[in-house]
């Protein structure tokens, strides 16, 4: 330690600047100042802002981080791992199910010992889905081998992001680090905080470049093999090394925290002990809830009660020794946890604290455990007081009457129990008899007869009004229009996305027929399972229902990115179902991040426009052509601006899904909020997208392409600029001839190819 | 000496903004807070109510101020504010906007109406009511409601410095949209000057507005296991009229040709049809009206209508209720 002390005396406080920003802004600021090499990310609330802010700063030329928009969190973790293997400094951010989806990769990274920093902006994991904060995701991190810092304020989110990198890269540690802070409570709350005025101060602290002398895959002159498989004899020794690194990391942390304090003036001891010196009753809380409880400690102290609070800054390695010391004189402790370890009679922190105390034979602390504040349920000071009262009661009685329980649950009043308000409609109710689909034996194609739109208003809608979509959202009107072409019953699954969120917010649903939600990497697989079970149970005579049921998986374009694998798998297996994609050209549900379907140059919150960047860098994904390559019976595109065309395709889709196999359709859908367009122009914008040939209307029936609306033939073709000028997200493109040319060239190339396919059944 | 004229037990002066997504209350809260923290050196916090809600849904923004040496530990929403700003008048129908208001608190409402009507609707008989036609100013100046509301809020929070806000407005627009600087400054100043106040002293012994911490409709004994809902279509119980921002479609039945284009593009399923007979006695569908309970005022229907039977109108209070043709659900 003498070396450290000597070194520290040389350090002086680096100049700070005051800001008023949120935890996500703070984490992004730290990343920009460090100037990481790579961030491979995938949007998920509430962590997404970090990538967005870094994209904004990138567009302004404020850092050089390579921001790579992954196809899902599993992919993002892979990108990060690969970059770490190549010796890069790597940062990532995620939350909840994003974390769950990447978790497979995390022990790979710790087990092969490559550093990086991951911001885990904590949020409840599904299901049921809840976008707000708790620690159920964080608790899954405990067994990954990663080091874990817990940041209770935006200031801590900033500081720990800087300390984390140095800790991770330390020669005696070499483990990836998670910085966990509370979703929304900390990620989105703006506080007064201090930043290093000059990024050079941060870079001097972490080192301008990564430490040398470690294996990486970037230098062909020093070839290595990474990831050879092992047997138990070797694996046990590998993991023992990892265990030793965690042990060593505890000491290294002390050193790094001391160095950081010397340049910042801000101190992050392993445990924050608030009024613990002589405390007799105490709370143990992670992160923001602990901050909230401090006011109650002060209040009880003023009343003469010896109350205190323990809040850890580090939970991996777990500070067992420090906890034993802190609790030596405490008579009763309540551990409040924002996640349960179901069936374990206490959350993970409870067990780790009790286990730490067991090693101190003199310890007599009564440990109570309460699960609270799940799914972002707010935690108020008076609830912290209720926690203290439980601990005081246990202290006075010398035992915990109820050692473990939930806190804040309510039984509910039977008066409010949900009761059906509509008589369920099915079968004939949705058989209007107005739509005829007949196979034409000569052509092998389907012929559809439709009545005027007016007649179809007699058919009941599939969705009830009262959903929460933004004004002017085309996703809902397009879906309802598609449903008009479907006769008989439907079972729908909506993958996570706007249409799901706005039509099924508990305890309300806008779905009149059966509806399922599943997370958006797996909807196609889920419907595949449901449809096969439906037919098998019907075959066994267990259910007596009509054949006239269509299974439909509804997804946004984002869901066709992260869910592409299961969608292709389902298509190759050719289940009798429809995949309907409403394409609004981005991840609109999480705040307009780019999807692969975002066209070139279009501005989103992760494809910003500035001096160093011109919107999205690559062309939109041609999903219909990808799906067509699986040789499914029917593929189509559609738009609300051409209603008869879309209803006709829906009728064909139903026939194919009931008789032959999988159908894929893409419907372009206006998002006025994020396209920054006038609400009332939604339909017109879709019309211009079609007439500019950006979004051709066509179908591929048994592999044969048919353009169903050819604007050239009707002399209605317009330039793509006529479409682009209607949206705020593309205004900048009109002033950029080079970008415009590149965009038009791709539109033309795809259109010309499509025409050739239309002309030749073999293509 | 403290510049915060009043504070609560923890030393905080607290503001709660009640709005719908899309009106910019979030940004207004941020600018208020920044002006106090970065401009005046106060300590402060600013956050919003978050969820999956989209544009048009109720949102709240919170601002806490305290002296520089007071630490802010509390992360929880503001329950008993000193100032409440109501950005959208119709909100009171679905949200208890005054919940927890301090006895000496001030309520600012964006409205064209007079004090008495607003007091009656809000059930706010005593205390200080501030009213500004923030929407009217914004429409006049082609700016945003949040700027005129900010002007009025700066007048109410008299410890803040309106000149610093004017500088922020200049700075925000100057570089990219210089033509917007003047209209936005005018919008802010008009909000500041045009806000009107009325104080009715509370009779002795009257308490502030009690705060009601919202409880879930269902509990562990009444939720179906796994979060399953068997009440299909129950979103139709909701009233979305509060999502509109001043405009509604108006139907002129005489010029309607019942083409159903409106029905095709309406995201909110507002068009009500009934079956009848045409001149030759054949069954036919007829558009009977608009169910304004669900209309969010996007006006896609007005744009698509081939005959002009649907047109846009500024929504005055009471119009939608008296012209609503309700869906009949079975």
pLDDT score of A7: 53
Rounded mean pLDDT of A419-446?
93
Mean pLDDT is lowest, of A1-10, A376-385, A751-760, B126-135, for A1-10
pLDDT per residue as tens digits for the range A43-69: 999 999 999 999 999 999 999 999 999
Using the predicted structure, report yes or no on whether residue B4 has a pLDDT greater than 90.
Answer: no
pLDDT per residue as tens digits for the range A133-169: 999 999 999 999 999 999 999 999 999 999 999 999 9
* Domain shared by A626 and A507, yes or no: yes
pLDDT per residue as tens digits for the range B141-173: 999 999 999 999 999 999 999 998 998 888 888
What is the least distance, in Å, from the CA of B285 to any CA of chain A? 6
* Domain shared by A566 and A694, yes or no: yes
* Domain shared by A257 and A286, yes or no: no
Q: Output DSSP code: residue B253.
A: G
In three state form, how does the secondary structure of A327-396 look? CCCCCEEEEEECCCCCCCCCCHHHHHHHHHHHCCCCCCCEEEEEECCHHHCCCCHHHHHHHHHHHHHHHH
The closest of A315, A390, A377, A323 to A348, measured between CA atoms, is A315
What is the least distance, in Å, from the CA of B224 to any CA of chain A? 9
Using the predicted structure, report yes or no on whether residue B323 has a pLDDT greater than 50.
Answer: yes
Across the interface, whether the CB atoms of A471 and B77 are under 8 A apart is answered no
Q: Which of A379, A410, A454 sits opposite B215 (nearest CB)?
A: A410
Rounded mean pLDDT of A518-522?
95
Residue A521 half-sphere exposure toward CB, CA atoms < 13 A: 14
* Domain shared by A252 and A184, yes or no: yes
**Which of B265, B304, B313 best probes binding to A when mutated, by most A CB atoms within 10 angstroms?**
B265
Q: What is the distance between the alpha carbons of residues A272 and A243, in angstroms, rounded to a whole number?
A: 25
Rounded mean pLDDT of A188-212?
97
Q: Where are the alpha helices (H) located in A265-314, listed in sequence order?
A: 287-302
Answer whether A664's CB lies under 8 Å from A701's CB. no
Indicate the average pLDDT of chain A. Answer: 96
Question: Is the preceding peptide bond at B170 cis, omega within 30 degrees of 0?
Answer: no
Q: What distance, in Å, lies between the first and last C-alpha atoms of chain A?
A: 73
Greater model confidence, B170 or A236: A236
Strands of A314-316's sheet in order across: A91-94, A117-122, A177-182, A147-151, A314-316
pLDDT per residue as tens digits for the range A328-377: 999 999 999 999 999 999 999 999 999 999 999 999 999 999 999 999 99
The closest of A392, A466, A16 to A197, measured between CA atoms, is A16
Across the interface, whether the CB atoms of B221 and A288 are under 8 A apart is answered no
Q: What is the distance between the alpha carbons of residues A628 and A607, in angstroms, rounded to a whole number?
A: 29
Q: Which of A190, A424, A473 sits opposite B30 (nearest CB)?
A: A190
* Domain shared by A78 and A22, yes or no: yes
Question: Is the preceding peptide bond at B24 cis, omega within 30 degrees of 0?
Answer: no
* Domain shared by A234 and A280, yes or no: no
Answer whether A656's CB lies under 8 Å from A445's CB. no
Mean pLDDT is lowest, of A320-329, A544-553, A717-726, B197-206, for B197-206
- Write b or e for each residue in A585-620: b if 16 or more Cβ atoms lie within 10 A of its Cβ, otherwise e: bbbbbbbbbbbbbbbbbbbbbbbbbbeebbbbeebb
Q: Which of A22, A411, A456 sits opposite B219 (nearest CB)?
A: A411
pLDDT per residue as tens digits for the range A449-490: 999 999 999 999 999 999 999 999 999 999 999 999 999 999
pLDDT score of B53: 63
DSSP-derived 3-state class of residue B192: helix
Answer whether A522's CB lies under 8 Å from A566's CB. yes
Q: A254 φ, ψ to 5°?
A: -55, -45
The closest of A93, A88, A467, A464 to B232, measured between CA atoms, is A464
Answer whether B26's CB lies under 8 Å from B94's CB. no
Residues of A in contact with B258 (CB under 8 A): 454
Check if A114 contacts B (Cβ < 8 Å). no
pLDDT score of B94: 82
Residues of B in contact with A423 (CB under 8 A): 330
The closest of B162, B132, B126, B159 to B145, measured between CA atoms, is B132
Q: What angle do CA A316, B73, A319 make, to 5 degrees?
A: 20
pLDDT score of B186: 96
- The domain total for chain A is 3
Rounded mean pLDDT of A719-731?
97
Q: Which of B46, B213, B285 sits opposite A454 (nearest CB)?
A: B285
Percent of chain B with pLDDT over 90: 71
Greater model confidence, B245 or B64: B64
Q: Which of B219, B243, B264 sits opposite A410 (nearest CB)?
A: B219
The closest of A624, A655, A694, A472 to A547, measured between CA atoms, is A655
What is the least distance, in Å, from the CA of B143 to any CA of chain A? 15
A535 token code pair: 């037919």
Q: What is the distance between the alpha carbons of residues B165 and B146, in angstroms, rounded to a whole number?
A: 13
The closest of A519, A607, A606, A595 to A558, measured between CA atoms, is A595
Q: A698 φ, ψ to 5°?
A: -155, 175
Beta bridge partners of A406: A371
Residues of A in contact with B75 (CB under 8 A): 182, 185-186, 189, 288-289, 291-292, 379
Q: What is the distance between the alpha carbons of residues A683 and A589, in angstroms, rounded to a whole number?
A: 20
pLDDT score of B74: 86
Q: Which chain A residues in 485-544 lie under 8 Å from chain B, judged by CB atoms?
A: 498, 501-513, 515
Domain-embedded: residue A439: no
Element (H, E) at A533: helix A523-539
Answer whether A179's CB lies under 8 Å from A47's CB. no
Q: What is the distance between the alpha carbons of residues A363 and A596, in angstroms, rounded to a whole number?
A: 58
Residues of B in contact with A376 (CB under 8 A): 50
pLDDT score of A570: 98
Answer whether B317's CB lies under 8 Å from B248's CB. no
CATH number for the region B234-323 comes to 3.30.70.20
Listed in sequence order, the residues at least 6 apart from A555 whose beta carbon sits closer than 8 Å to its beta carbon are A494, A495, A497, A520, A523, A524, A563, A567, A579, A580, A581, A582
* Domain shared by A551 and A672, yes or no: yes
Q: Which chain A residues in 676-695 lie under 8 Å from chain B, judged by CB atoms?
A: 679-684
pLDDT per residue as tens digits for the range B204-234: 777 777 787 888 999 999 999 999 999 999 9
Element (H, E) at A30: helix A23-34
CA nearest to B79 within chain A: A380
What is the least distance, in Å, from the CA of A293 to any CA of chain B? 8
- Write b or e for each residue in A742-752: b if 16 or more Cβ atoms lie within 10 A of its Cβ, otherwise e: bbbebbeebbe
CATH code (residue A166): 3.40.50.970
Q: What is the distance between the alpha carbons of residues B307 and B251, in angstroms, rounded to a whole number?
A: 11
* Domain shared by A279 and A249, yes or no: no
CATH code (residue A343): 3.40.50.920
Domain range holding A330?
Answer: 272-406
* Domain shared by A325 and A374, yes or no: yes
Using the predicted structure, report yes or no on whether residue B95 has a pLDDT greater than 90.
Answer: no
Residues of A in contact with B259 (CB under 8 A): 453-454
Q: Which chain A residues in 209-268 lie under 8 Å from chain B, judged by CB atoms?
A: none
Across the interface, whether the CB atoms of B57 and A468 are under 8 A apart is answered yes
Distances (CA, A) of A581 to A478, A494, A523, A602, A751: 10, 10, 12, 20, 21
Q: Which of A424, A470, A476 sits opposite B232 (nearest CB)?
A: A424
Answer whether A580's CB lies under 8 Å from A552's CB. yes
Answer whether A553's CB lies under 8 Å from A580's CB. yes
Answer whether A245's CB lies under 8 Å from A175's CB. yes
Query: Strands (DSSP E) along B189-264, which ranges?
Result: 196-200, 247-251
pLDDT per residue as tens digits for the range A96-140: 999 999 999 999 999 999 999 999 999 999 989 999 999 999 999
* Domain shared by A513 and A568, yes or no: yes
Q: Which of A20, A182, A472 sits opposite B298 (nearest CB)?
A: A472
Q: Output DSSP code: residue A633.
A: S
> Which of A380, A406, A432 marks a domain boundary?
A406
pLDDT score of B52: 63
What is the least distance, in Å, from the CA of A223 to any CA of chain B? 49
What is the least distance, in Å, from the CA of B35 to any CA of chain A? 10
What is the least distance, in Å, from the CA of A36 to any CA of chain B? 29
Rounded mean pLDDT of A14-35?
97
Distances (CA, A) of A33 to A14, A160, A161: 14, 13, 10
Q: Return residue ranges of chain B for CATH 3.40.920.10.
A: 13-200
Percent of chain A with pLDDT over 70: 99
Domain-embedded: residue A422: no
Q: Where are the alpha helices (H) located in B20-63, listed in sequence order?
A: 25-34
The closest of A423, A450, A421, A422 to A438, measured between CA atoms, is A450
Q: Which of B38, B56, B230 sits opposite A418 (nearest CB)?
A: B230
Greater model confidence, B46 or B6: B46
Across the interface, whether the CB atoms of B236 and A466 are under 8 A apart is answered yes
Indicate the CATH number of B13-200 among 3.40.718.10, 3.20.20.60, 3.50.50.60, 3.40.920.10.
3.40.920.10
Residues of B in contact with A189 (CB under 8 A): 45-47, 75
Q: Return residue ranges of chain B for CATH 3.30.70.20.
A: 234-323
Residues of A in contact with B51 (CB under 8 A): 131-132
* Domain shared by A197 and A90, yes or no: yes
pLDDT score of B51: 67
pLDDT per residue as tens digits for the range A623-676: 999 999 999 999 999 999 999 999 999 999 999 999 999 999 999 999 999 999
* Domain shared by A254 and A342, yes or no: no
pLDDT per residue as tens digits for the range A597-628: 999 999 999 999 999 999 999 999 999 999 99
Using the predicted structure, report yes or no on whether residue B202 has a pLDDT greater than 90.
Answer: no
What is the least distance, in Å, from the CA of A631 to any CA of chain B? 32
Check if A289 contacts B (Cβ < 8 Å). yes
pLDDT score of A2: 42
CA A621 to chain centre: 21
How many Å is the maximal CA-CA distance in chain B?
85
pLDDT score of A3: 46
Element (H, E) at A232: helix A232-264
Q: Which chain A residues in 43-62 lie under 8 Å from chain B, judged by CB atoms?
A: 46
Q: A271 φ, ψ to 5°?
A: -120, 130
- Let me know how long chain B is: 330
């Amino acid at each position: 330690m003498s070396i450290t002390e000597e070194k520290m005396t040389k350090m002086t406080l680096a100049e700070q600047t005051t800001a008023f920003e949120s935890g996500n802004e703070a984490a992004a600021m730290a990343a920009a100042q460090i100037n990481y090499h790579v961030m491979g990310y995938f949007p998920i609330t509430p962590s997404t802002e970090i990538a967005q802010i870094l994209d904004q700063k990138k567009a302004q030329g404020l850092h050089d981080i390579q921001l790579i928009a992954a196809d899902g969190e599993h992919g993002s973790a892979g990108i990060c791992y690969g970059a770490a293997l190549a010796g890069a400094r790597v940062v990532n951010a995620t939350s909840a199910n994003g974390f769950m989806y990447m978790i497979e990769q995390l022990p790979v990274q710790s087990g092969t010992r490559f550093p990086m920093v991951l911001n885990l902006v904590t949020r409840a994991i599904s299901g049921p889905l809840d976008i707000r904060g708790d620690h159920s995701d964080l608790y899954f991190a405990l067994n990954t081998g990663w080091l874990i810092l817990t940041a209770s304020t935006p200031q801590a989110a900033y500081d720990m992001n800087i300390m984390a990198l140095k800790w991770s890269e330390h020669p005696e540690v070499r483990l990836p680090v998670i910085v966990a802070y509370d979703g929304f409570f900390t990620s989105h709350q703006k506080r007064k905080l201090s930043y290093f005025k000059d990024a050079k101060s941060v870079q001097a602290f972490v080192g301008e470049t990564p430490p040398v002398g470690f294996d990486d895959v970037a230098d062909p002159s020093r070839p290595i093999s990474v990831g050879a498989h092992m047997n138990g004899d070797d694996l046990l020794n590998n993991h023992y090394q990892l265990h030793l690194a965690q042990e060593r990391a505890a000491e290294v942390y002390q050193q790094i925290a001391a160095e950081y304090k010397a340049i910042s003036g801000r101190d992050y001891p392993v445990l924050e002990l608030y009024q613990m010196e002589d405390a007799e009753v105490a709370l143990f809380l992670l992160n923001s809830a602990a901050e909230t409880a401090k006011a109650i400690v002060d209040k009880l102290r003023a009343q003469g009660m010896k109350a205190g609070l323990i809040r850890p800054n580090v939970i991996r390695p777990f500070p067992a020794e420090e906890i034993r010391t802190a609790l030596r004189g405490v008579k009763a402790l309540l551990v409040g946890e924002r996640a349960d370890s179901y069936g374990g009679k206490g959350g993970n922190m409870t067990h780790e604290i009790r286990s730490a105390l067991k090693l101190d034979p003199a310890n007599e602390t009564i440990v109570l455990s309460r699960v609270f504040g799940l799914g972002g349920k707010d935690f108020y000071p008076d609830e912290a007081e209720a926690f203290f009262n439980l601990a005081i009661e246990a202290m006075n009685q010398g035992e915990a009457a109820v050692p473990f329980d939930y806190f804040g649950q309510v039984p509910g009043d039977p008066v409010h129990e949900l009761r059906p308000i509509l008589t369920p409609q099915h079968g004939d109710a949705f058989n209007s008899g107005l739509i005829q689909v007949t196979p034409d034996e000569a052509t092998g194609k389907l012929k559809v007869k439709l009545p005027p739109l007016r007649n179809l208003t007699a058919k009941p809608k599939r969705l009830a009004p009262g959903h929460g979509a933004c004004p002017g959202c085309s996703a809902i009107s397009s879906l309802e229009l598609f449903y008009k072409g479907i006769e008989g019953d439907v079972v729908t699954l909506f993958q996570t996305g706007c249409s799901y969120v706005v039509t099924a917010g508990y305890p309300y649903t806008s779905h009149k027929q059966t509806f399922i939600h599943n997370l958006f990497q797996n909807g196609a697989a889920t419907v595949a399972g449901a449809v096969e079970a439906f037919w098998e149970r019907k075959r066994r005579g267990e259910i007596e229902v009509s054949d006239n049921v269509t299974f439909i998986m509804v997804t946004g374009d984002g869901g066709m990115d992260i869910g592409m694998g299961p969608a292709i798998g389902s298509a190759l297996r050719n289940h009798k179902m429809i995949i309907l994609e409403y394409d609004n050209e981005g991840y609109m549900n999480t705040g307009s991040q780019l999807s692969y379907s975002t066209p070139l140059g279009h501005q989103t919150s992760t494809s910003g426009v500035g001096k160093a960047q011109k919107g999205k860098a690559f062309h939109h994904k041609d999903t219909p052509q990808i799906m067509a390559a699986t040789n499914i019976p029917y593929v189509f595109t559609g738009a609300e601006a051409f209603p008869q065309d879309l209803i006709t395709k829906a009728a064909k889709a139903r026939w194919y899904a009931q008789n032959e196999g999988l159908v894929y359709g893409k419907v372009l859908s206006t998002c006025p909020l994020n396209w920054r367009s006038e609400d009332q122009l939604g339909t017109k914008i879709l019309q211009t997208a079609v007439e500019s040939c950006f979004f051709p209307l066509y179908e591929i029936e048994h592999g044969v392409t048919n353009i169903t609306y050819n604007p050239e033939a009707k002399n209605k073709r317009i330039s793509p600029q006529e479409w682009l000028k209607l949206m705020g997200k593309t205004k900048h493109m009109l002033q950029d001839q080079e970008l415009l040319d590149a965009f038009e060239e791709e539109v033309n190339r795809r259109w010309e190819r499509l025409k050739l396919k239309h002309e030749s059944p073999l293509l | 000496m403290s510049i915060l004229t009043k504070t609560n037990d923890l030393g905080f002066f607290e503001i709660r903004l009640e709005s719908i997504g899309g009106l910019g209350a979030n940004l207004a809260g941020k600018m208020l807070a920044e002006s106090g923290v970065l401009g005046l050196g106060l300590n402060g916090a600013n956050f919003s109510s978050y969820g999956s809600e989209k544009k048009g849904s109720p949102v709240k923004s919170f601002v806490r101020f305290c002296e520089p040496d007071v630490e802010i530990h509390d992360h929880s929403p503001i329950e008993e504010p000193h100032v409440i700003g109501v950005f959208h008048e119709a909100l009171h129908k679905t949200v208890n906007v005054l919940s927890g208001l301090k006895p000496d608190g001030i309520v600012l409402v964006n409205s064209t109406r007079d004090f008495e009507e607003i007091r009656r609707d809000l059930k706010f008989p005593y205390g200080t009511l501030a009213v500004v036609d923030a929407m009217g100013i914004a429409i006049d100046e082609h700016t945003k409601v949040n700027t005129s509301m900010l002007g009025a809020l700066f007048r109410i929070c008299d410890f803040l410095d309106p000149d610093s806000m004017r500088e922020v407005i200049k700075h925000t627009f100057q570089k990219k949209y210089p033509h917007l600087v003047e209209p936005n400054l005018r919008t802010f100043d008009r909000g500041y000057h045009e806000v009107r106040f009325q104080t009715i002293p509370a009779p002795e012994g009257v308490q502030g507005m009690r705060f009601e911490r919202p409880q879930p409709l269902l509990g562990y004994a009444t939720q179906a296991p796994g979060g399953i809902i068997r009440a299909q279509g129950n979103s139709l119980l909701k009233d979305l009229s509060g999502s509109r921002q001043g405009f509604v479609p108006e139907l002129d039945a005489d010029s309607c040709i019942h083409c159903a284009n409106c029905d095709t593009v309406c995201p909110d399923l507002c068009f009500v049809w009934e079956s009848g007979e045409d001149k030759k006695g054949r069954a036919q569908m007829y558009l009977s009206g608009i169910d304004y309970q669900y209309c969010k005022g996007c006006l896609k229907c007005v744009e698509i209508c081939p005959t002009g039977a649907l047109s846009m109108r500024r929504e005055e209070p009471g119009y939608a209720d008296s012209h609503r043709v309700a869906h009949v659900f079975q």
